[in-house]
Amino acid sequence: MASLPPAARGALSVLAGAIIAIGLPPLGWWPLAFLGFPLFLMLLASGPRKGWRDGFGLGWAFGLGYFAVAFHWIGFAFLVQADTYLWMMPFMLGILAGGMAIYWGLAALLARRFGGNGLQLALTFSAVLAGAEWLRGHLLTGFPWAAPGLLVDGMGGVAQAAAVIGMTGLSLLVILWASLPLVFLQGGSRASRVAAAVILLSLPAVWIWGDARLRTARDDMVPGVAIRIVQPNLPQDETWREDNARQILDDLEQLSALPTAERPEGIGGISHVVWPESAVPFLIDESPVARAELAPLLGGRTVLLTGAVRLDRKGEGEDPDAHNSIIVFDGRAEPVARYDKWRLVPGGEFLPLAWLLEPLGFRKVVQTPGSFVPGPGPRTITLPGGLRAALTICYEAIFPQRLVDDAERPQVIVNVTNDGWFGRSTGPWQHLAQARLRTIEQGLPMIRAANTGISAVIDPYGRTLRMLPLMEKGVVDSPLPVALSPTPYGRWGDFWLVLLATAVLGCAYLAGKSTSRG
């Protein structure tokens, strides 16, 4: 491979990254990682060790191929109002994929400079790329979507390790396992091949442990709690039209009261109804008409949680601050609590570098009466009836860190979202898969309400108990699973990741010493 021209090496690196990304949900073809990572590492190992341009360039191309495929679904959002936004699609996707690929380029540069070959390179690369993924999830607001650890969605019991090492720890393990075939392809020493085989055996060991954890899983439900999730399946181009307000509210109310085989009495006996993100195109907390209609529906007993735009009014002549919120109504349709989204979507809810991009014609995709303002952060809200809930909106569920309030542990995570922007793409499936990882990490169940799907009730082991498919209108009725005791990841966060990465780098150092002696 060292004899290949630079363009061919770069193209193969792009291909290697794309191959891995194809294995992400919903396909679940995780074995493709065992092709993509060794291919890239063979290219990396064949270049000059001190050639930073070669190392960074190959890593950036590798990341570009991965993120271009993993993020392609974002392009669907620009088709909703194509006459306004379509021209922005190649720029935004290119900037996002290319920007995320910088992290992979830096990881490849470090691995090539210090990682040697064979086993040492596989060990070093897995640790430094996991570190780069941690940074990707934290710097510049963070965007940890499609971490390599998400491949475990198709790996059965392996996902249960998220309860200990979290998503980034899973990324480290997946990268390491998938990179080890390099040792055999390069014809390493017998000792390195034995060591690689032993490390590979940890994959079935973790899988078996995870399956055993699931077999002994608790199935207890919270007494007196019955959930109804409403999925209106409203096309995105109709969601924000004010002339649709009457029909949208009627549909939500009818679905909320719908008799089902499980609940022939309709909303009777339901303790909590959950509507999706930005469920109605008006300010529902400021609408006496809407609240007058909701009061008899809720019947003095049912709590409603709905996604909604909320305004903070200012002085006369000043634009209000808009919040993407969840508003809690009690059984009398009185707003009793609210949660304001604090992780806003770059390019969607706010425009980074607006001073530079707005004069060029760029706009944020979601238009509001004012600018979206972030809320104060995660907090536990005690709902009427005493249920403690961590409320989250949309892509806040992709972040492992600061998901819940550590000072007051909730009993459930509520996530409302609107993935209608992305149609039937892979985006909604990947979003759901990342939400499932959050439940395993925290040992908490999740109620997930999505406008066009995929709405679901997920238990604290990441198992989907009830689900309404993508692009289907209806409701999901379910009891609420009991939360587990705090998991190791829930207690200590990425502490265990640091220990794992340190151990892997220590093994890489020993592997390098062994090679130099040989």
Mean pLDDT of 438-454: 97
Mean pLDDT of 7-18: 96
Residue identified by tokens 């898969």 is 433
Burial class of 301 by CB neighbour count within 10 A (0 to 12, 13 to 18, 19+): middle
Phi/psi for 287 (5° steps) reads -105, 105
- Least confident segment among 232-241, 435-444, 479-488: 232-241
In the three-class reduction of DSSP (H, G, I as helix; E, B as strand; rest coil), residue 381 is classed as strand
Residues 337-348: pLDDT tens digits? 999 999 988 766
What is the rounded distance in angstroms from the CA atom of residue 273 to the CA atom of residue 144?
A: 30
Phi/psi for 326 (5° steps) reads -115, 125
What is the rounded distance in angstroms from the CA atom of residue 243 to the CA atom of residue 235?
A: 14
Q: What pLDDT does residue 349 have? A: 60
In the three-class reduction of DSSP (H, G, I as helix; E, B as strand; rest coil), residue 122 is classed as helix
Residues 266-282: pLDDT tens digits? 898 899 999 999 999 99
Question: What is the pairing mode between strands 321-329 and 446-450?
Answer: unpaired
Residues serving a catalytic function are: 277, 341, 394
Local confidence band at 237 (pLDDT 50, 70, 90 cut-offs): confident
- Least confident segment among 104-118, 274-288, 304-318, 381-395: 304-318
What is the rounded distance in angstroms from the CA atom of residue 435 to the CA atom of residue 442?
A: 11
What is the rounded distance in angstroms from the CA atom of residue 135 to the CA atom of residue 140?
A: 9
Q: At residue 459, does pLDDT exceed 70?
A: yes
Residues 76-135: pLDDT tens digits? 767 766 666 677 677 778 889 999 999 999 999 999 988 888 999 999 999 999 999 999
Residues 403-425: pLDDT tens digits? 999 899 999 999 999 988 888 99
Mean pLDDT of 334-361: 71
Asked if 236 contacts 420 with a C-beta cutoff of 8 angstroms, the reply is: yes
Asked if 490 contacts 441 with a C-beta cutoff of 8 angstroms, the reply is: yes
Please report, for residues 271, 299, 304, 448, the alpha-carbon distance to residue 227 in angstroms, rounded to integers and kept in the order given: 6, 15, 10, 11
Asked if 324 contacts 278 with a C-beta cutoff of 8 angstroms, the reply is: yes
Local confidence band at 236 (pLDDT 50, 70, 90 cut-offs): confident
Local confidence band at 149 (pLDDT 50, 70, 90 cut-offs): very high
**DSSP β-bridge partners for residue 306:** 327
Percent of the chain scoring above 90 in pLDDT: 74
* Opening angle at CA 277, ends 273 and 282, nearest 5: 95
- Least confident segment among 186-200, 205-219, 354-368, 452-466: 354-368
Report which DSSP code applies to 350: B
What is the rounded distance in angstroms from the CA atom of residue 183 to the CA atom of residue 121?
A: 9
Q: What pLDDT does residue 398 have? A: 95
Local confidence band at 203 (pLDDT 50, 70, 90 cut-offs): very high
Q: What pLDDT does residue 355 have? A: 42
Mean pLDDT of 142-161: 96
Q: What pLDDT does residue 181 have? A: 96
Q: What pLDDT does residue 101 have? A: 97
Mean pLDDT of 9-29: 96
E strands in 249-398: 272-274, 303-312, 321-329, 335-340, 380-382, 388-393
What is the rounded distance in angstroms from the CA atom of residue 165 to the CA atom of residue 156?
A: 16
Residue 36 tokens, joined: 């993509």
Asked if 123 contacts 196 with a C-beta cutoff of 8 angstroms, the reply is: no
Task: Report the largest interatomic distance among the alpha carbons of the chain, rounded to a whole angstrom.
Answer: 81
Q: At residue 48, does pLDDT exceed 90?
A: no
Local confidence band at 263 (pLDDT 50, 70, 90 cut-offs): confident
Q: What pLDDT does residue 215 have? A: 96
Phi/psi for 269 (5° steps) reads 90, -10
Q: At residue 365, does pLDDT exceed 60?
A: no
Tell me, rounded to whole angstroms, the distance of Cα 38 from its chain centroid.
26
More confident residue, 162 or 236: 162
